[in-house]
């Protein structure tokens, strides 16, 4: 007689499908945003230097990583610094790129370009004020669900007072309205953010040097609904289906998350850092899954002289924290989460930086269990630009990297996951399952049944009472489903 222990394990299989970089003339190419269409084409935009000045540069890859086209745009002259900031797609596959440049009078201007799926410029529009600020994060844009483009930023008036602006275009390039909001004064610091809700309302945030953020709500006609001041800086906004608005950022070394209702009333505010005395944290990206859970990512650390760690926090709609996770890479150093997204099963994916010179992608399940980590050594200094998961669970991300012998370049990566292909809820087990063997006791053989909810590598082994492995029953990739296997101990 002997005792036996069965070990069942399923290992996720993540494969790098392709990796592409965009380098124009061995000068700086900085990716700022990414989009993916319904057939898997990938679009990356940003600013690209010709060695002296910056242009818009938008790159399209197909689903296999083949570069289909590159479109560069320079405004009034080759000596202007043009910076693409956002990219969006409509349902017909047209591409909308927004950023900043110069007009004919050499004044700063907002530029919006529409490209066809084949890369032809359909139209270009610009919006001018006396002096629009054009640094990387001072303009933000969004394509709303009702098919309109909103652009925000801030400008100096003739007396050097700073105000926010908001512009609305339709998909034909017609400017529907614009607001140079001189009723609100802001002290410039860093980023503007924008989002819309399902009712067509527009939310704009503008950070101030007073360590506060002005949060504004406009309706679809551009009429101001309310304004509130938030303590701290907000770096990202998102609205839920009930008209509530959420933001994330930082204040006094804490990562902050806020919720306001549709009237602008503060519902809750959460602050997080790993240590109440020496800890620090910031949040850069906020998203809501299809069960209305709120997630933020950024970084946290207790001693910044030794590095930062990737931060991920999950809240419910009441502001209760389900869990937080702090990921410290084996590479050490500075780890940050820059953007996050979800798949159809509400798994969470993050793109960011690891040890200052690795592009990192992480996957967590809804319970906060780390499923996998992938890194690519990029040399020095990485900034995540976007991440997307398609319906086949392929993971596409984009970042800015340094490459050997060059300056900064666009990086675009596609991973495939075997673990989620072919999974159908309700047909296959929802959890990993190993049933009691039968018959039990047995002589000399017994049957074992197990189930797996996703495709993966399965190992099922038998050990004797001394802990010695005596038989391997399963050691291969299995499709999701229920299985039965027989163990015969006659020769043991």
pLDDT digits (tens, 9 = 90+) for 149-180: 999 988 777 777 777 889 999 999 999 999 88
Neighbouring C-beta atoms of residue 393, cutoff 10 Å: 22
Q: Which residue ranges form the domains of the chain, and what is each CATH number?
A: 15-420 (2.130.10.10), 431-488 (no CATH)
In this structure, are strands 202-208 and 188-196 parallel, antiparallel, or unpaired?
antiparallel
Determine the pLDDT at residue 429: 66
Neighbouring C-beta atoms of residue 380, cutoff 10 Å: 10
Distance CA 255, CA 282 (A): 4
Cα–Cα separations (whole angstroms), residue 421 to 11, 13, 115: 14, 11, 33
What are the φ and ψ backbone dihedral angles of 440, each rounded to 5 degrees?
-150, 115
Which residue, 13, 15, 6, 17, is CA-closest to 454? Answer: 13
Burial class (CB in 10 A: 0-12, 13-18, 19+), 450: buried
Place of tokens 């709120």: 294
Is residue 380 scored above 70 in pLDDT? no
Find how far residue 397's CA is from the centre of its chain. Answer: 8
Contact 351, 326 (CB under 8 A): no
Stronger pLDDT, 132 or 246, i.e. the higher one: 246
Percentage of residues in the chain with pLDDT exceeding 90?
Answer: 53
Is residue 181 scored above 80 in pLDDT? no
Determine the pLDDT at residue 421: 36
Is residue 275 scored above 90 in pLDDT? no
What mean pLDDT is predicted for residues 476-490? 77
Is residue 219 scored above 60 in pLDDT? yes
pLDDT digits (tens, 9 = 90+) for 227-264: 999 999 999 999 999 999 999 999 999 999 999 999 99
What are the φ and ψ backbone dihedral angles of 414, each rounded to 5 degrees?
-130, 125
Neighbouring C-beta atoms of residue 342, cutoff 10 Å: 18
**Omega before 441 within 30 of 0, i.e. cis:** yes
Token output for 327: 């990921």
Stronger pLDDT, 374 or 108, i.e. the higher one: 374
Q: Ramachandran region of residue 264, left (φ > 0), alpha (ψ -120 to 50) or beta? A: left
What residues contact residue 1 under an 8 Å CB cut-off, 6+ apart? none
Using the 8-state DSSP alphabet, how is residue 284 labeled? E
**Omega before 473 within 30 of 0, i.e. cis:** no
3-class DSSP assignment, residue 420? helix
DSSP readout, 261-288? -TTS-EEEEEEE-S-TTT-EEEEEEEEE
Using the 8-state DSSP alphabet, how is residue 187 labeled? -
Using the 8-state DSSP alphabet, how is residue 419 labeled? G
Determine the pLDDT at residue 423: 37
> Dihedral (C-alpha) 429, 369, 350, 416: value to the nearest 10 degrees?
-40
Determine the pLDDT at residue 195: 97
Place of tokens 């370009």: 113
Contact 251, 233 (CB under 8 A): yes
Determine the pLDDT at residue 426: 38
Find how far residue 394's CA is from the centre of its chain. Answer: 14
Upper half-sphere CA count for residue 437 (Cβ side, 13 Å): 20
Which residue, 377, 332, 381, 390, is CA-closest to 356? Answer: 381
In this structure, are strands 175-180 and 188-196 parallel, antiparallel, or unpaired?
unpaired
């Amino acid at each position: 007689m002997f005792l036996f222990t069965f070990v069942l394990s399923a290992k996720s299989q993540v494969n790098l499908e392709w990796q592409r970089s965009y380098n124009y003339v061995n000068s700086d190419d900085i990716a700022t945003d990414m989009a993916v269409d319904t057939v898997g084409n990938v679009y990356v935009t940003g600013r690209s230097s010709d060695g002296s000045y910056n242009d818009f540069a938008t790159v399209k890859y197909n689903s296999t990583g083949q570069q289909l086209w590159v479109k560069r745009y320079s405004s009034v002259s080759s000596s202007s610094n043009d910076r693409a900031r956002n990219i969006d797609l409509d349902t017909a596959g047209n591409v909308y790129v927004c950023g900043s440049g110069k007009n004919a009078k050499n004044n700063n201007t907002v530029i919006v370009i529409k490209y066809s799926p084949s890369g032809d410029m359909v139209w270009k529009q610009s919006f001018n004020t006396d002096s629009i600020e054009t640094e990387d994060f001072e303009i933000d844009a969004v394509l709303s669900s009702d098919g309109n483009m909103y652009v925000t930023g801030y400008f100096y008036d003739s007396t050097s007072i700073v105000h926010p602006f908001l512009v609305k275009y339709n998909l034909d390039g017609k400017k529907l309205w614009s607001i140079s909001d001189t009723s609100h004064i802001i002290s410039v610091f860093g980023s503007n953010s924008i989002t819309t809700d399902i009712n067509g309302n527009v939310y704009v945030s503008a950070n101030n040097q007073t360590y506060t953020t002005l949060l504004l709500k406009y309706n679809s006609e551009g009429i101001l609904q309310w304004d509130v001041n938030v303590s701290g800086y907000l770096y990202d906004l998102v609205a839920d289906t009930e008209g509530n608005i959420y933001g994330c950022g930082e204040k006094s070394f804490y990562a902050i998350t806020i919720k306001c209702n549709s009237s602008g009333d503060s519902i809750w505010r959460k602050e997080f850092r790993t240590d109440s005395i020496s800890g620090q944290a910031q949040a850069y990206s906020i998203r809501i899954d299809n069960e209305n859970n709120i997630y933020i990512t950024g970084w946290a650390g207790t001693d910044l002289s030794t590095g930062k760690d990737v931060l991920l926090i999950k809240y419910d709609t009441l502001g209760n924290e389900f869990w937080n996770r702090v990921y410290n890479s084996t590479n050490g150093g500075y780890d940050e989460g820059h953007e996050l997204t979800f798949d159809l099963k509400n798994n969470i994916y993050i793109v960011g930086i690891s040890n200052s010179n690795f592009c990192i992608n992480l996957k967590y399940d809804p319970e906060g269990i780390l499923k996998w980590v992938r890194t690519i050594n990029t040399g020095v200094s990485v900034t995540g630009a976007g991440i997307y998961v398609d319906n086949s669970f392929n993971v596409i991300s984009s970042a800015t990297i340094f490459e050997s012998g060059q300056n900064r370049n666009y990086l675009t990566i596609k991973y495939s996951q075997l673990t989620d292909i072919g999974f159908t809820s309700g047909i296959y087990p929802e959890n990993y399952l190993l049933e009691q063997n039968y018959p039990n006791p047995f002589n000399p053989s017994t049957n074992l049944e197990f189930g797996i909810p996703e495709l993966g590598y399965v190992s099922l082994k038998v050990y004797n009472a001394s802990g010695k492995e005596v038989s391997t029953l399963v050691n291969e990739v299995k499709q999701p489903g229920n299985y039965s296997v027989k163990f015969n101990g006659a020769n043991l």
